[in-house]
Amino acid sequence: PVPQRSPEELIALRRRYLNPTLSLSYQEPLKIVRGEGAYLFDQHGQPYLDMVNNVCHVGHCHPKVVAAGAAQMAMLNTNTRYLHDNLVEYALRLTETLPQSLSVVFMTNSGTEANDLALRIARAYTAANDVIVLDHAYHGNSPSMIDLSPYKFNGRGGRGKPAHVQFVPMPDSYRDANAQDADYAESHAAHIDNAINRIHARGEKPAVFYAEAMLGCGGQTVLPPGYLQQAYARVRAAGGVCLADEVQIGFGRDGEYFWSFQSHGVVPDIVTMGKPIGNGHPVGAVVTTPEIAAAFVTGMEYFNTFSGNPVSCAIAMAVLEVIQEEKLQQNALETGAYLQQGLRQLAQQHSLIGDVRGRGLFLGAELVRDRESKVAATAEAKRIVEILKTQQILLSTDGPLDNVLKIKPPVVFQRSHADQFLQALGDALHRL
């Protein structure tokens, strides 16, 4: 058996033996030993309502997902060079959720691997190298993805923008002065033209445009209606392809749509997936069109030892089934609307909440010291996260100014959970 160490001991041993860049949540870190549904439990059996885990999408340790993984693990786990039903069946079921053109699946083990592979595929198809991304975006932890992540390369220990990457301003409907203008989305899409011009000036053309329909690390930011349509048109006209990163927001969290890009009425050329796809088991995927996939057939096999193995596919299939059986997309829509409404009511009483935004169960509350100047209330956001922890609610912050309360609970989140959270948040705001 594994010795059960105290939090202090674990902290000391992590310091000595583990990756020194790993961070811990909270001034006094939690030791979490069990999960169930929307809750995590510490070593004393104390439950915490999890408001921030969009990975354990259908609930922590969902019995059906656990059983599917355990049964397959007891039967077989091997690579994809033998025929197996799980891999093919999963590809069939996954592509059923997508627009018809997106019908070729590459399995990976993480969101980073998916975005990384997608870059290779896009480059093979377009015979181009350069990439356009949104400012503040995060697309993964590999060298190639750090290069595409202003969230990392600008500050946070990064070394700045590489030459082959252009970033455009992130539309920020809360902070942009022209957000109410009729041509707001268009004015932002015009930045894509500038990025394309910069690429042309380098003697290159764009290979791919990466964007989330809602930016997680960008601060739970919802792109304005019409933006992706206009951005996609510009990138395609310049010979590039368009990628929707659904790693954070996919699989029904949007509420209205299974894939959040659908809220923009666009069909991407490539979609990447991760986090919720395996409910915590490491799985990722790239889905693209037959035409683009064919261009990747250059003589070099893409083989990835673990990706698409029978256990991962059994788990991913169970996740899709649970989303359907438990009508979790519908729940994200209804409970998400209820929660967002509650946040808006709190904003009427507390001027600290400058903005409430999001779709489904992907929400953000941006905190400001003053509604006129919109000075970020970063320290206050941190305080609220700590206060809510004392009320057994787990939350975190993000965004360019780290002042956005990030709300993305497992999609089994219920109204009673929303009430508990809103009550506790209201009390915390009073205390501040």
Chain contacts with ligand PMP (rule: CB under 6 A): 110-112, 115, 138-141, 212, 216-217, 245, 247-248, 274-275
CB-based closest residue to ligand PMP: 111
* CB nearer to ligand PMP: pick between 53 and 126: 53
* CB nearer to ligand PMP: pick between 214 and 238: 214
Q: List, in sequence order, every residue forming a beta bridge with 270; answer none if it has no partner.
A: 243, 288
CB of 426 to ligand PMP, least distance (A): 29
Residue 172 CA to residue 190 CA, distance in Å, equals 15
Q: Which two tokens stand for residue 46?
A: 């104390």
CB of 11 to ligand PMP, least distance (A): 23
* CB nearer to ligand PMP: pick between 138 and 296: 138
* CB nearer to ligand PMP: pick between 271 and 418: 271
* CB nearer to ligand PMP: pick between 145 and 367: 145
Residue 366 CA to residue 374 CA, distance in Å, equals 10
* CB nearer to ligand PMP: pick between 247 and 429: 247
CB of 98 to ligand PMP, least distance (A): 18
CB of 252 to ligand PMP, least distance (A): 16
CB of 395 to ligand PMP, least distance (A): 16
Residue 211 CA to residue 353 CA, distance in Å, equals 27
CB of 138 to ligand PMP, least distance (A): 5
* CB nearer to ligand PMP: pick between 138 and 167: 138
CB of 12 to ligand PMP, least distance (A): 27
- 410 in Cβ contact with 368 (< 8 Å): no
CB of 73 to ligand PMP, least distance (A): 21
* CB nearer to ligand PMP: pick between 115 and 263: 115
CB of 285 to ligand PMP, least distance (A): 11
* CB nearer to ligand PMP: pick between 153 and 184: 153
CB of 146 to ligand PMP, least distance (A): 11
Q: List, in sequence order, every residue forming a beta bridge with 267; answer none if it has no partner.
A: none
- 429 in Cβ contact with 380 (< 8 Å): no
* CB nearer to ligand PMP: pick between 118 and 332: 118
